[in-house]
Amino acid sequence: MLNLKNKVVFKGDRTLWYVVIGLMLASLIVVYSSTGSLAFRVRGGNTSYYLIKQLFLMFGCMVVILTLQSFHYKYFLSFAKIVLGMSLIFLLWAKFAGTTLNDAGRWVTIPGIGFTFQPSEMAKLGIIMYCARAIAFEQTEECCSNNVLWRMTLVVPVLFLIFMENFSTSALLGGVCLVMLFVGRLYWKTYAKLIGVIVGLLILMLAVVFIVPEKHLKSAGRLLTVKSRIEHFVNPSETDSDDSYQSDQAKIAVAKGGLMGLGPGNSVQRNFLPHPYSDFIFAIIVEEYGLVGAGIVMLLYLIILYRVGVIVRRCTRMFPAILVAGLGLCIVFQALINMGVCVGLFPVTGQPLPLVSMGGTSLLFTSASFGMILSVSHTFSEEGEREEKEKLKMAAQGINEEEENEEN
C-alpha cells in the first residue's frame, strides 16, 4: 500500500481498504443528497453543512483506523475487560442520567466538552472483544470448554441494559455471540442447549409483550415499541404508527428507483422520510441509483464478509480469529438488517448502515472495528511476518551485543 519514507501507511488487507474507502465515498455522496433540503430549512440555506460535517467525521474515522491498525492484536486482548467494564458504566449512566432522544435514554453527554455518544456502540466492541477472549482462553485440543459460558456471564448485564433501550442492537449482538461460539468450537450438545434456552426466552418475552396490557409495558423499557413494530410488520394494513409511515415511505422510494434510479440528487422521498440520512439511507440509495447502485453497495458488504473469512483462515491463534469473525459479522449483519428494513423484509429497527449513514458514534466505533480487523490482517500477512522476524532478529542482535560487551 501507500509508503511514506519506506513506512507503510495503509496496512493489512488491501481489498478491505478499498471497500472501506468506497463506503466512505458513498457516504459523502448520499448524505449530501439526502440532507440537502433539511440543511436548507434548518441551516438557513447552507446545503453543504451536513456534507462538511460528514467529511470531518470521515477524517476522524480514517485517523481511528490508521491508529488501531498499527497496534498488535495482543493489546486488544489485554483491554477487552476494560472496554466491557467501561461499556457497563456508560450504559448505566445512560439508563439513569442519560440524555433522552426519541423517547429513549440512550445517550451520554460528557460534562465540560458536551460530547454526546451512544454507549451501546462502545458495548458492541466490548462484548465482541471479551467473548473472543473468553473463547480463546477455554480452548482445548478437541473443542471449547463449557466453562466459556461461565466466563461469558459477565456479558449478560451489558446485553440486558442494551435490551432495555434497544432490542434490535441486543438481538444483533446476541446473534453474533452465538456465531462466535460456533466458530470457537463449543461442544455441540452444549450449543444446542444454549440455542434452546435462548429460543425459550424469546418465546416468553413475546408472550409477555402480547399478553400484558400496554399500560404495564410503558415502564418496561422498549417492550411497547417492540410490540408495535412487530404488529405493524405482521399486519401493516391494520396499524397506524410512525413506524408504518416510515416503512411505507421507504417502500415508495425503493419502488421509484427501478433499475437505474432517478439520478444523483433527484430523490423525492428524502422530503418525506423522517431519517433519510441514517436509518433509511439505503432507500435513498435505491431511489437515486436503482438496483444497480444498491447491488454495488450490497456487494461491498459481501466482500467484507469474504475478506474477513480469508483473514480468519490465515490466523494461527484463536483470539484474533474469533475477534475478526465477530467484528466482521457484526458489521455485515447490521448492514443486512438496515437493507432488509428499507425493503420491508424486517420490522423497523433503527440500525444505521455501517460507515455510510450519517452520524458520529456509529461511524467512529465501526471504524474502530475495521482498524482491529486490519491490525490482525497485517499481523498474519507476509508483510507482518517479515516485520516480526526483523524485530526478533534485531532483539537477538541486541542480546548478542550485550553479551559481547560483558565478556570484554
Query: What are the tens digits of pLDDT across the range 310-343?
Result: 999 999 899 999 999 999 999 999 999 999 998 8
φ, ψ (nearest 5 deg) of residue 381 = -90, 170
Distance of CA 342 to the CA centre of its chain: 18
Q: What is the rounded average pLDDT of the residues 11-29?
A: 93
Residue corresponding to grid cell 417502500: 251
Q: Is the pLDDT of residue 3 over 60?
A: no
Whole-angstrom Cα distance, residue 69 to residue 340? 31
pLDDT digits (tens, 9 = 90+) for 101-116: 655 557 777 766 666 7
- To the nearest 10°, report the CA torsion of 269, 270, 276, 282: 60
Query: How many angstroms from the chain centroid is the CA of residue 79?
Result: 19
pTM of the model: 0.88
- What average pLDDT is seen over the chain? 84
Q: How far is CA 330 from the centre of its chain?
A: 5
Q: What is the pLDDT of residues 206-253, one digit of tens each?
A: 787 777 666 655 555 566 677 777 777 777 666 555 667 788 888 899
How far is it, in rounded angstroms, from Cα 18 to Cα 330? 19
CB 268 within 8 A of CB 295: no
* Angle at which helices 49-68 and 14-34 cross, to 10°: 160
Mean pLDDT of 24-29: 94
Average pLDDT over every residue of 295-304: 96
Lookup: cell for 405: 560487551
